[in-house]
Amino acid sequence: MTDSFHPPVRTLMGPGPSDVNPRILEALSRPTIGHLDPAFIRMMDELKGLLQYAFRTNNDLTIPVSAPGSAGMECVFTNLVEPGDKVIICQNGVFGGRMQENVERCGGTAIMVIDDFGKPVDLDKTEAALKQHPDAIALAFVHSETSTGVRSDAEALCRLANVHDCLAIVDAVTTLAGIQLEVDEWGIDAIYSGTQKCLSCVPGLSPVSFSARAADRIKHRRHKVQSWFLDTNLVMGYWGADAKRSYHHTAPVNSLYALHESLVILQEEGLEKSWQRHRQNHLALVAGLESLGLGFVVEESSRLPQLNAVSFPESIDDGAVRAALLEQYSLEIGAGLGALAGKVWRIGLMGYASNRKNVNFCISGLGNVLNAQGHSCDVSQAVAKAEATYS
């Protein structure tokens, strides 16, 4: 007979999922009620308001998609892109490539603006593409590229999109609650994120938000949305403002409790303080890792505080280090993706996991493992360098 599954206790400092706040785990365990229960509908209304707070938007069409961040991506593209539409996509990492896949599967044409992995999206190249393709309906880009730890200038890119009468589509999966994000102020038309990163919630939900301009485009499509499940015209019958909700799908009730709790926690801390905390812990991690003799792929001005792409000497066995951290310290860090596979570690400081204790734990554990592999480093000095940044 198979026993119940009891996972090991890990410290999650990879690219996601991140450590889940105990309050959120408790929220998951609350009694399940019906997804059309009046009490649940009241919670849904609160949840929409909390998401609007996190996104800094008044968009009515702001909801959590009942599936992970990749479904949020697909929700945005499948609702906005029709056959024959042209979309300019900025790719500087793995997830820009997934945007291209979505556009092409919707029957659209993807005009690619390519930058090196680890570099922010080039504004001049993007503007040139917009001028060359005046018939493009949207400009899409990744704000915080999870595969490389680089931040692009979302405000400037959205400004370019608006000047050229394009919808601005933004991937904010690793952004939300980690660094500044201003949906209304920057003129973002469609945005998607995930719950498992800086919100410290469990995986499986994708917050999305559409501007009034984007919502109007969806309502006046020439063709049906190719996905029945992700068609916001149908989903809003369940998530809309009407007191009487129509059944669309059985919502993941307990996961939505968890998201509600995570957003309550975010509101208690305050968005600006959350951004500041991520930044402070990032600076400490940088000081410690550089003291260990490690480097960073992304230039300082464009680094994400919540996701660090850390380079290491060729003599270091990437897989062996990560395996040792997991086995000896129950600490998870991530491997590189795409062009950076085997060349970097991706170390996350996201949400609940972004704290002083984890910074020191990661530096000391990684330093000890590196010493065991023959890469000589002073662990005590590295921890002291990190600690000095807090004072």
pLDDT, tens digit (0-9, with 9 covering 90-100), for 37-53: 999 999 999 999 999 99
Burial class (CB in 10 A: 0-12, 13-18, 19+), 334: buried
* Spatial CB neighbours of 32, under 8 Å, sequence gap ≥ 6: 253, 254
The yes-or-no verdict on residue 101 having pLDDT over 90 is yes
User: pLDDT tens digit string along 211-250?
Assistant: 999 999 999 999 999 999 999 999 998 998 765 788 999 9
Ordered structural domains, the chain, with CATH = 21-268 (3.40.640.10), 270-390 (3.90.1150.10)
Report the Cα 360 to chain-centroid distance in Å.
24
State the pTM of this model: 0.97
Structure confidence at residue 242 (pLDDT): 66
Mean pLDDT for 298-309 is 97
C-alpha to C-alpha distance for 43 and 50, rounded to whole angstroms: 10
Token duo for residue 377 = 């480093």
Average pLDDT, the chain: 96
Kindly state the tokens that stand for 65: 């998609």
Instruction: Say what the pLDDT of residue 232 is.
Output: 95
What mean pLDDT is predicted for residues 97-117?
97
pLDDT score recorded for residue 240: 84
